[in-house]
Chains A and B, each alone.
Chain A
Amino acid sequence: MTTRTLAVVSAGLSVPSSTRLLADRLTAATVEALEARGEDTTVEVVELRSHARDLADNLVTGFANQELRTAVDTVTGTDGLIAVTPIFSASYSGLFKTFFDVLDKEALVGKPVLLGATAGTARHSLALEHAVRPLFSYLRAVTVPTAVFAASEDWAGGGGVDRALAGRIDRAAGELADLVTGRLAAVRPVDPFADPTTSFEDLLRGR
């Protein structure tokens, strides 16, 4: 058995939050799916609510303070990512977007990502496909085909609605586990302070 690392980013604002609830369900299902594939998993959860001021400060000062730095390093260094946001005004929440705005633009390249979103009604569900997925495509992350949306009714709805949600969660978790196990160990971002690969003489010659 190898050990895989999984980061979970949840942008829920209330405590308890349905966004966190969905994130936890997706996490548990992914850990189980990885175990079924012979992999142990360690999970690190980043609650963006507790970094709300750190993120605003980062926008103003241009650097992440120590607390935010730890969260950023957690997310960039893992084998896979589960990212869950509430849908606000037809898109991801500002808090969610801000976290991905302050990451290095190369930080998520090639990383398997499972997307989730919550909202009051199912009318918001396609925001996952129209807003959240393009953000991660832009960052060149590898998103799993199933993105999981949960409206309030999905949690307790009769007539098998909640079972349908459970089915989507399991399918998405299986897709993420497949991507993570098919991947070599987590790739660290390039160190900007490593010795340059282009010599200064080449730069001088305009190459």
Chain B
Amino acid sequence: MQFGIFTVSDITPDPTTGRTPSEAERIKAVLTIARKAEEVGLDVFALGEHHNPPFFSSSPTTTLAWIAAQTSTLQLSTSTTLITTNDPVKIAEDYAMLQHLADGRVDLMMGRGNTGPVYPWFGKDIRDGIELAVENYALLRQLWREDVVNWEGKFRTPLQGFTSTPRPLDGVPPFVWHGSIRSPQVAEQAAYYGDGFFHNHIFWPPEHTQQMVEFYRRRFEHYGHGTADQAIVGLGGQVFMRKNSQDAVREFRPYFDNAPVYGHGPSLEEFTAQTPLTVGSPEQVIERTLGFRDYVGDYQRQLFLIDHAGLPLKTVLEQLDLLGEEVVPVLRREFAALKPAHVPDAPTHESLVAAAGGAKDSTVFAPADSVTGQAR
């Protein structure tokens, strides 16, 4: 099982000091957080994509490439990549490039985004959200899997004899997850392709996550990719820890009370009871996290949100120490002991290359033959 962190890339005032970090400060902080994630033994770092304040992460591949250069084992991912408003051609190019730079340590999580105004900024219409996600992703897959693409669709200009470069590393495209909070259509899309499904698992009660995951697993089996319990599931989660649970609650409360998404609503205690949020000791986080398996089954990836709502860098790094030293080693051992042998791990570049029968260079040397896709 993979463990890691995901960030939304928000720039939020620290409610305890009233101070808001600059973009420069927050961008550097995220780089530090990512490097620290590898240092403490986590597996995955996933970065969000947004195109408006208060978020900084408009260019995930630039950021992830820098992190790739500074790390050696960390799997780089997104949370999420906007499949609706990004040109699938540019996603194909950018992430194949990142895959080469990172020696294959790359996967992506597709999302529709939750910011309505972003659609017109990129010349799209929010009413086409689901259709855009369906068409764009189908094209993205084709661009990664076929050297020469002739394509015509509804939402972008046609492609004639187009080759997306660079070709995927070793001839194997990055693994793709699909993230959604509330759309069964997205779970259906993930199931159709045999891709992974990731539930944010932060904002809503566990019963909702359970329904979405059960639906995805059932449809994964329906489409013939394996049994329902072999589907590839990832979960988010939100934790704040101190050695002493009362210290955690006291310290996190002002951040909770003022958090942009759920602040000024339910109390910390109510929200903790209603959603997977855990504020307490490392032991409490371990117990709660192990309990996720009770309602989603054996799953492959657990990402925690730890750097939002204005939490200062120093605090975030302390959270990473606790995750790496006390929480993840126990979770790794316990989840592994429970997982039956027929349930696969999350695909990695190595496992995908092995499944494809070994690495093959897929460079397309110009000029290509647009009929067969073969280089001369």
Residues in A lying within 8 Å of B, measured CB to CB: 56-57, 59-63, 65-66, 192-193, 195-196, 200, 203-204, 206
Do A196 and B184 form a contact, CB below 8 Å, given A66-B274, A204-B134?
A: yes
Q: Are B184 and A65 in contact (CB under 8 A)?
A: no
Q: Are A61 and B211 in contact (CB under 8 A)?
A: no
A-B contact count (CB 8 A): 53
Partner of B203, one of A59, A61, A195, A200: A61
Partner of A203, one of B134, B203, B274: B134
Closest to B223 in A: A200
Binds A, one of B42-50, B228-236, B263-271: B263-271
Tell me the bound Cα distance from A204 to B274 in angstroms: 37
For B321, the chain A residues whose CB sits under 8 A away are none
Do A57 and B270 form a contact, CB below 8 Å, given A62-B203, A204-B134?
A: yes
* Majority secondary structure, B binding face: helix
Q: Are A193 and B184 in contact (CB under 8 A)?
A: yes
Q: Are A63 and B188 in contact (CB under 8 A)?
A: no
Closest to A201 in B: B192
* Sample of 29 A–B contacts (CB below 8 Å): A56-B265, A57-B270, A59-B265, A60-B265, A60-B266, A61-B262, A62-B203, A63-B203, A63-B274, A65-B266, A66-B274, A193-B212, A193-B214, A195-B219, A196-B184, A196-B185, A196-B188, A200-B134, A200-B188, A200-B189, A200-B192, A203-B130, A203-B185, A204-B134, A204-B135, A204-B138, A206-B131, A206-B135, A206-B153
Tell me the bound Cα distance from A129 to B222 in angstroms: 50
Tell me the bound Cα distance from A195 to B265 in angstroms: 35
Question: Which of B203, B214, B266 has the most A CB atoms < 10 Å from its CB?
Answer: B266
Give the top 4 A-B pairs by smallest Cβ distance, nearest first.
A60-B265, A200-B192, A57-B266, A193-B215
Tell me the bound Cα distance from A60 to B219 in angstroms: 32
Tell me the bound Cα distance from A177 to B294 in angstroms: 46
For B204, the chain A residues whose CB sits under 8 A away are 62-63
Tell me the bound Cα distance from A60 to B270 in angstroms: 13
B205 at the interface (CB under 8 A from A): yes
Residues in B lying within 8 Å of A, measured CB to CB: 130-131, 134-135, 138, 153-154, 184-185, 188-189, 192, 203-205, 208, 211-212, 214-215, 218-219, 222, 262-266, 270-271, 274
Closest to B216 in A: A193
Q: Are B184 and A60 in contact (CB under 8 A)?
A: no
Q: What's the nearest-Cβ distance from chain B to residue A62, in Å?
A: 6
For B218, the chain A residues whose CB sits under 8 A away are 195
Q: What's the nearest-Cβ distance from chain A to residue B130, in Å?
A: 8
Tell me the bound Cα distance from A200 to B219 in angstroms: 11
Tell me the bound Cα distance from A65 to B269 in angstroms: 13
Tell me the bound Cα distance from A57 to B212 in angstroms: 23
Tell me the bound Cα distance from A162 to B134 in angstroms: 62
Tell me the bound Cα distance from A196 to B185 in angstroms: 8
Tell me the bound Cα distance from A63 to B262 in angstroms: 11
Q: What's the nearest-Cβ distance from chain A to residue B297, in Å?
A: 16
Tell me the bound Cα distance from A195 to B185 in angstroms: 10
Closest to A58 in B: B265
Closest to B261 in A: A61
Do A61 and B215 form a contact, CB below 8 Å, given A203-B134, A206-B131, A206-B154?
A: no
Tell me the bound Cα distance from A65 to B203 in angstroms: 12
Q: What's the nearest-Cβ distance from chain A to residue B331, in Å?
A: 26
Tell me the bound Cα distance from A185 to B34 in angstroms: 56
With A60-B264, A203-B130 given, can you name 6 additional A-B contacts, CB distance below 8 Å? A61-B265, A63-B203, A63-B274, A65-B270, A193-B214, A204-B138
Tell me the bound Cα distance from A200 to B212 in angstroms: 17
For B265, the chain A residues whose CB sits under 8 A away are 56-57, 59-61
For B184, the chain A residues whose CB sits under 8 A away are 192-193, 196
Tell me the bound Cα distance from A61 to B277 in angstroms: 13
For A57, the chain B residues whose CB sits under 8 A away are 265-266, 270
Closest to A193 in B: B215
For A56, the chain B residues whose CB sits under 8 A away are 265
Closest to A54 in B: B266
Partner of A63, one of B138, B205, B211, B219: B205
Q: Are A65 and B192 in contact (CB under 8 A)?
A: no
For A60, the chain B residues whose CB sits under 8 A away are 262-266
Closest to B183 in A: A192
Tell me the bound Cα distance from A61 to B202 in angstroms: 10
Tell me the bound Cα distance from A62 to B153 in angstroms: 35
